[in-house]
Amino acid sequence: MDGKNALSTQEVADMLNVSKSTIYDLIKRGEIRSYKIGRKVRFTEEDVKEYISNSKKNQAVLSSSFDTAAFSLSGNYIKADGFIICGQDLILDVLSNYMRLNRIPALRSYIGSYDSLVSLYRKQINVASAHLWDSDTDSYNVLYVRRLLPGIPTVIVHLTCRMQGLYVAKGNPKSINTWADFGREDITMINREKGAGSRVLLDENLKLLGIFGESIKGYDNETRSHLAVASAISRGEADVAVGNEKISRLVDNIDFIPLKKERYDLVFRKEDLHTKEIEMLLKIIRSEAFNNEFGNIGGYDTSDMGKIVAEI
């Protein structure tokens, strides 16, 4: 963001990687502030930052509710009311908006891939998202679903592919280009929380290289979003972080080093396949309108969106 105070609807849509129609929906619901110059709608940079900040706060409240109300008195897991989609990408915000427009009261929780799958196992959520890489097979998600939901028939549906890599300062002054650079003594990093897909990708590559995380400066300095780690690099608080390409386009003064194309999938219980909520979810992500939201913007590959990856 460049500090402009008269951002157009199209510019804000580009910043958030959504369509103009989604921005108009946010305005109607009062979720993002705007003003008018004549008949034209305009936004300030602070309006956009406030929307992102409020969205994160709302998601954090929902996520924390799982921690404080995970068990009933009998020891059984309980779930918040509503249809809950779990994950951190903005594509899931748009998906939940589409579902609400189709009278499905979809809620959002922003927790990482590992915890998302565990929450699905515990029946605390309805749909998990995952981008967990297995270094032994060079594959995404299927093996983790098998292990984290033992004995639970599940369906894995592909949503999008994204590019994962490294956030570094503009111009890459420390010439950080590979996973091996995390082993350098002059490098300080900022990390994602345990269980985040980016954290798993980092740890799997460190394991292959024989690098112990505890030997890296800043390894234990954790935060819970791509935007937060990218912003930390922009402010000079660390030299490197792992994240996806799309977020790097929203933050000034950083460069992105692409390293791995990842699969970002949705997971739900097979018993729910024919519920009205899951049927609507699949209808939406397989629709031309939803695909068009993301097919022509950077950071997403939607060519296989909606295809069933596996039934376990």
Q: Which residue has the tokens 């912003």?
A: 231
Eight-state DSSP code of residue 88:
-
pLDDT at 227: 87
For residues 141 and 115, membership in a common domain is answered with yes
Same domain? For 81 and 198 the reply is no
Contacts of 295 (CB under 8 A, 6+ apart): 302
Q: Which of the two residues, 79 and 267, has the higher pLDDT score? A: 267
Range 129-157 average pLDDT: 96
C-alpha separations of 157 from 92, 128, 152, 305, 309 in Å: 14, 10, 16, 8, 5
Question: Can you give the pLDDT at residue 71?
Answer: 32
pLDDT at residue 92 is higher than 80: yes
Cβ atoms of 282 and 274 within 8 Å: the answer is: no
Question: Which of 5-19, 156-170, 247-261 has the lowest average pLDDT?
Answer: 5-19
The pLDDT, as a whole number, for residue 114 is 95
Q: Could you tell me if 147 and 277 lie in one domain? A: yes
Same structural domain, 85 and 201: no
* Percentage of the chain exceeding pLDDT 70: 88
Residues 5 and 32 in one domain: yes
Residue 62 has pLDDT above 60, yes or no: no
Mean pLDDT of 30-38: 84
Average pLDDT rounded to a whole number, residues 64-84: 47
Q: What's the CATH code of the domain at 127?
A: 3.40.190.10
- pLDDT tens per residue, range 237-283: 999 999 999 888 888 899 999 999 999 999 999 999 999 999 999 99
Can you list the alpha helix ranges (DSSP code H) found in the chain? Answer: 9-16, 20-28, 45-68, 90-101, 113-121, 142-148, 197-209, 226-234, 245-248, 276-285, 288-295
On average, the pLDDT of the chain sits at 86
Which pLDDT score is estimated for 31?
A: 83
pLDDT in tens, 189-204: 999 999 999 999 999 9
- 111 Rama sector, left if φ>0, alpha if ψ -120 to 50, beta otherwise: beta
CA-based nearest residue to 117, from 90, 142, 89: 142
Examine the domain organization and report whether 95 and 188 are in the same domain: no
Q: Based on the fold, state whether residues 24 and 136 are members of the same structural domain.
A: no
Cα 8 to Cα 6: distance, rounded to the nearest angstrom = 6
DSSP annotation of 71: B
> Which CATH number belongs to the domain containing residue 19 in this structure?
1.10.1660
The region of weakest confidence among 121-125, 176-180, 220-224 is 220-224
Enter the DSSP assignment of 170. T
Q: Would you place residue 56 in the very low, low, confident or very high pLDDT band (cuts 50, 70, 90)? A: low
Q: Could you tell me the pLDDT band of residue 70, with boundaries at 50, 70 and 90?
A: very low
297 falls in which pLDDT band (50, 70, 90)?
low
Indicate whether 29 pLDDT > 80.
no
When divided into structural domains, the chain yields a total of 3
Q: What is the pLDDT of residue 80?
A: 52
Question: Which candidate, 94, 31, 88, places its Cα nearest to that of 293?
Answer: 94
| 98 vs 110: CA distance, rounded Å | 18
Check residue 4 and give its pLDDT: 54
Q: Are residues 168 and 114 in the same domain?
A: no
Q: Are residues 101 and 145 in the same domain?
A: yes
- Residues 238, 89 share a domain: no
Which segment of 31-40, 130-139, 209-218, 256-265 scores lowest on mean pLDDT?
31-40
* pLDDT confidence of residue 17: 65
If one compares 57 and 106, the residue with the highest pLDDT of the two is 106
Supply the range of the domain harboring residue 212.
164-261
Would the pLDDT of 72 be above 70? Answer: no
> Quick one: which of 196, 130, 123, 120 has its CA closest to 159?
130
Domain check: are 114 and 244 in the same one? no
Q: Is the same domain home to 138 and 270?
A: yes
Neighbours of 63 (CB within 10 A): 18
Nearest-angstrom CA–CA distance, 233 and 236 = 5
Residue range 211-226: mean pLDDT, rounded: 92
